[in-house]
Amino acid sequence: MAEYAQNYKVLILTWLSLTLVTVTASHCVMAVTPSTPLLSFLERLQETAFETFAHSNFDPKTYVDMPLKSALTVTEDAFQKLPRNANGSVPVEDLKRFIEAYFEGAGDDLVYRDPQDFVPEPEGFLPKVNQPQVRAWALQVHSLWKNLSRKISGAVKAQPDLHTLLPLPGSVVIPGSRFREVYYWDSYWVIRGLLASKMHDTAKAIVTNLISLIDKYGFVLNGARAYYTNRSQPPLLSAMIYEIYNSTGDLELVKRSLPALLKEYEFWNSDIHKLTILDAQGCTHTLNRYYAKWDKPRPESSIMDKASASNFSSVSEKQQFYRELASAAESGWDFSTRWMRNPPNFTTLATTSVIPVDLNAFLLGMELNIALFAKVTGDNSTAERFLENSDLRKKAMDSIFWNANKKQWLDYWLSSTCEEVHVWKNEHQNQNVFASNFVPLWMKPFYSDTSLVSSVVESLKTSGLLRDAGVATSLTDSGQQWDFPNGWAPLQHMLVEGLLKSGLKEARLLAEEIAIRWVTTNYIVYKKTGVMHEKFDVEHCGEFGGGGEYVPQTGFGWSNGVVLAFLEEFGWPEDRNIEC
């Protein structure tokens, strides 16, 4: 009888794979967000500037961030009349004069704002930080919120067609350096830092801005620029609202946010992001992936994207590669061997073929948060529905991602993106180690399972990711910034907080060890350079990170936020040194 049942299951699986694997428009041909005349022109300007000024520190983003002084038609006409050299470049002085005459500086449409809820040393600030040097530094990091606070210039609202910057209703906190606008997932860790700094109004303004993007576009954009309207970023808005509510008890914020969160949830569960997968037991599950609505070079990196795509001969191959690039940008991990079918070959990016562990953990968190928000606002039916959704996602993650041998959650590779139902195969789990393999621990259904946490702690300790200055992003040194030896503030924070919330002594000890290493390297780098950095070299304490398609950036929103959050949680005893 058992043999009959097994044969029957095999027949069912085979039938499903043959009959339900249907090529449909919704799974293979996706909508593309239209470009705008302004963006198309600025891309041409960017290419001309590269041909004219070409040098090692050329940043293509600068040219799509510059506001126009005159109407686009007037500016284009003047651009067309510029003298050209034989290779199509414009003489250096001519292009400089043109840019000066027709453009404001990149970032000039944001103006500095002195946040009204900032005080030099807030009452109750980091009470467990007793070491004088560390406390003095923490206050310097706290003061950086003033440096990063902006408001949108009135010119953007008056003449939006002259700007790629999008108008927002509230004040903003930018990450820093080339990142002159609000970014989606960065904002979560910015808010964690602002809450440690007792800057509740500034934190709420960030949420108000992100909700305004949902109201207009149906989702939170990657960032508040016209060239980001084709993709989102890791969905952490509900987590931001939860942290503010947890700190302030602001029920009105929850009530105001809930409709927008429901709309965002619909976006992440639309056809382009949603997948059905049949597991080894014959059960179907729904999980989600990153998928940008774009098949052209990213305007902010157009010259780089075109250079990478030159390896492909056909238009359709180039378009698919551009979609994979933008989808990797939607993941926040731009770029990493995690998305490459044949790492470290950059042209094998296949982000849309990956069902990512961390995205589904974030969506599980969103479901739980929406359930909580609905409950506290009296909408019990919505609360029950989202608790059911979270339970289904937890089961899907257990079935599709969990690997009992490695004691980690592993990303899953799709053999084809055009199937209606994907049939799970063990060999399609990505066996490579990434910090994201441990992100589910950040979510209550996982960190509350003590036996599971014990297994994950053991796995993390032996993974090779734990280094002298924090947790490495991967074990592959590819030259991409979301790979070894770089460590990133959000990854440190998610793992530390998940370990901490489990309540297990061994997990707390590991969490504190990671936090101490991370705070130490941030401190040493700050003392050496005078600035906070976007990423750090976790192989070498006291060194900032590198790699990727732009020079290392400073400022820096999420690094500041995580340092303050760690110091608030763990403190720094007076007798503990801070040195590599």
Catalogue the active-site residues. Answer: 334, 534
> What CA–CA distance (Å, rounded) separates 458 from 465?
12
Residue 236: count other Cβ atoms within 10 Å of its Cβ.
Answer: 25
Please list, in sequence order, all residues whose beta carbon lies within 8 angstroms of the beta carbon of residue 423, skipping any fewer than 6 positions away. Answer: 13, 16, 17, 277, 278
Please list, in sequence order, all residues whose beta carbon lies within 8 angstroms of the beta carbon of residue 547, skipping any fewer than 6 positions away. Answer: 478, 479, 480, 481, 483, 486
Tokens of 7: 């044969």
Sign of CA dihedral 429, 435, 438, 442: negative
Tokens of 389: 């959704």
* Residue in 578, 576, 562, 561 with CA at minimum distance from that of residue 203: 561
**Residue-wise DSSP of 317-348:** HHHHHHHHHHHHHHHS--S-GGGBSSTT-GGG
* Residue in 119, 228, 215 with CA at minimum distance from that of residue 183: 228
Q: Which helix (H) or strand (E) holds 121?
A: none
Phi-psi map region of 348: left, alpha, beta (phi>0 left; psi -120 to 50 alpha):
alpha
Alpha carbon of residue 535 to chain centroid: 14
